[in-house]
């Protein structure tokens, strides 16, 4: 929790210092920040979709592995009970 707070505080101080020391006008700075915000939003939106797709694929593979392993163990158990091993 302390790390997250420190990270956010550092980010806020960095933004404030950047705005105060910017060599351009406030209007230009706001426009630039707006453009960068839109770019960041687009990147994170795509990232969420990508992560969701990967998670769904991993879940599907996990279920398949579970079913296969369960089937193999059931077969082995049944063979051992009938004395075929």
pLDDT tens for each residue of 22-33: 677 778 878 888
Query: Would you say residue 44 lies in a domain?
Result: yes
Mean pLDDT of 7-19: 81
At residue 85, the pLDDT reads 59
85 lies in a domain? no
- Which structural domain, as residue segments, surrounds residue 60? 34-76
Residue 48 maps to a domain:
yes
Output the DSSP codes for 52-75.
HHHHHHHHHHHHHHHHHHHHHHHH
Rounded to an integer, the average pLDDT of 69-84 is: 90
- Tokens for 9, please give them: 């505080």
Identify whether 19 is part of a domain. Answer: no
Residues 6+ apart with CB under 8 A from 29: 19, 22
Instruction: Note the pLDDT tens digit of each residue in 39-67.
Output: 887 777 777 788 889 999 999 999 999 99
Q: What pTM does this model have?
A: 0.46
Is pLDDT at 16 greater than 80 in this prediction? no
With b meaning 16 or more CB within 10 Å and e meaning fewer, what string describes 21-35?
eeeeeeeeeeeeeee
Number of domains observed in the structure of the chain: 1
């Amino acid at each position: 929790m302390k790390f997250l707070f420190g990270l956010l505080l550092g980010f806020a101080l960095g933004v404030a210092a950047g705005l105060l020391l910017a060599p351009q006008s406030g209007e230009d700075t706001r426009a630039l920040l707006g453009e960068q915000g839109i770019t960041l939003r687009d990147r994170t939106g795509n990232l969420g979709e990508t992560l969701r797709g990967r998670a769904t694929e991993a879940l599907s593979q996990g279920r398949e592995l579970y079913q296969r392993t369960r089937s193999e163990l059931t077969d082995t158990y049944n063979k051992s009970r009938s004395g075929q091993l």
